[in-house]
Amino acid sequence: MICMPNYLITGGEGQLGKCFAAVAEEFPKNKLIFTNQNEVDITHLETLKKCFDSRPFDGIINCAGYTQVDFAEEEYEKANKINVEGLRNISVFAEEKELCIVNFSSDYVFDGTSMSPYKENDKPNPINKYGYSKYNGELLLKKSSCQHTTFRISWLFSPFGENFVKTILKLSKLKKTIQVVNDQHGRPTYGIDLARTVLSNISKPDFYNFNFYNYAMQGTTTWFDFASKILAIKKNTCQIKSCSTAEYPTLAKRPKHSVLDTKRIENHLSLNIPSWEDSLKRCLKRIDNNEKI
């Protein structure tokens, strides 16, 4: 079955959902129906049933998800309910109505002990409960009979919601000095570019040839260098000091080296992924322009 671009987008009020809304006008041939949690709660089968019975869909872009990494350590049931049970509910209707699913997972399914970038077929080994919830969601969807693909992304940032870029901008206005860890390595993902990539390719017959794609911007960095670049672009005089993970304890453990290898998606979909520095500049420009999307 070839999927036509008539998609239900769950979690439309979240950071990733807003990224899809921001670029929707660039894809006029795609019919995108955005829903928020009040309209469609993926953890409740009944609300999902009403939604799927209300109109025909060709597929689902699941932007709904629990993303509070530290809080997940203390409220794993909630994380699991959304990231696993919610995804199970979506897959039930996808199988019944022969729909395609695009889902999103995380670099945190890996333990970060590999010094080489993680490929799609590398074995996950989460070290925190958020990572476990995303991995369990992956396993569930992998068993589904419907066409599906999961994008593993890392260090998501955008002009919307809560994310590292917006946190650094906020802290730099409130403090003279901020401290950021310098020993965790990864590849930031710009939500706007991710949304464009998905919407540019969902109607291609071979889009679902793989169950997993890694997607992140080109180039590896640390949280410290990422923060330093943000302040440099903004010409912000706030001082930034580096520290180790041990000096900055958090409830959830973080992988030290969760760099994703993106060669599969680059080759298969003929992508030229921008650098994280380029994407960051464009993100900050959107924030400066205060675009109301």
Q: What is the CATH number of the domain that holds 180?
A: 3.40.50.720
pLDDT tens for the 293 residues of the chain, in order:
444 568 999 999 999 999 999 999 999 988 999 999 999 999 999 999 999 998 889 999 999 999 999 999 999 999 999 999 999 999 999 999 999 999 999 999 999 999 999 999 999 999 999 999 999 999 999 999 999 999 999 999 999 999 999 999 999 999 999 999 999 999 999 999 999 999 999 988 899 999 999 999 999 999 999 999 999 999 999 999 999 999 999 999 999 999 999 999 999 999 999 999 999 999 999 999 974 43
CA 209 and chain centroid, separation: 20
| Residue 89, in any domain of the structure | yes
| Residue 14, in any domain of the structure | yes
For residues 3 and 152, what is the distance between their CA atoms, to the nearest angstrom?
21
For residues 194 and 63, what is the distance between their CA atoms, to the nearest angstrom?
12
**What pLDDT shows up at residue 279?**
99
**3-state DSSP assignment of residue 281:** helix
DSSP designation for 119? P
For residues 65 and 85, what is the distance between their CA atoms, to the nearest angstrom?
11
| Residue 158, in any domain of the structure | yes
Give the structural domain span for 119.
Answer: 6-289
Count of other CB atoms within 10 angstroms of residue 232: 11
> What residues form DSSP beta bridges with 239?
177
**What pLDDT shows up at residue 205?**
81
Closest by alpha carbon to 150, among 212, 225, 198?
A: 212
- For tokens 């901008």, what's the residue? 169
Cβ contacts of 123 within 8 Å, gap of 6 or more: none
| Residue 97, in any domain of the structure | yes
Which tokens hold the place of 85? 């049970």
For residues 102 and 63, what is the distance between their CA atoms, to the nearest angstrom?
9
**What pLDDT shows up at residue 42?**
97
| Residue 1, in any domain of the structure | no
**What pLDDT shows up at residue 1?**
46
**What pLDDT shows up at residue 293?**
34
Can you point out the beta strands (E) in the chain?
Answer: 6-10, 31-34, 59-62, 100-106, 148-153, 156-157, 177-181, 185-186, 189-190, 212-215, 221-222, 239-243
| Residue 218, in any domain of the structure | yes
**What pLDDT shows up at residue 204?**
87
Q: Which of 7, 66, 108, 130 is catalytic?
A: 130
- What region does 180 belong to: left with phi over 0, alpha with psi -120 to 50, or beta? beta
For residues 17 and 39, what is the distance between their CA atoms, to the nearest angstrom?
14
| 208 a catalytic residue | no
Q: Domain count of the chain? A: 1
Which tokens hold the place of 217? 């911007």
Closest by alpha carbon to 150, among 205, 88, 214?
A: 214
What's the whole-model pTM score?
Answer: 0.95
For residues 280 and 159, what is the distance between their CA atoms, to the nearest angstrom?
10
For residues 241 and 45, what is the distance between their CA atoms, to the nearest angstrom?
48
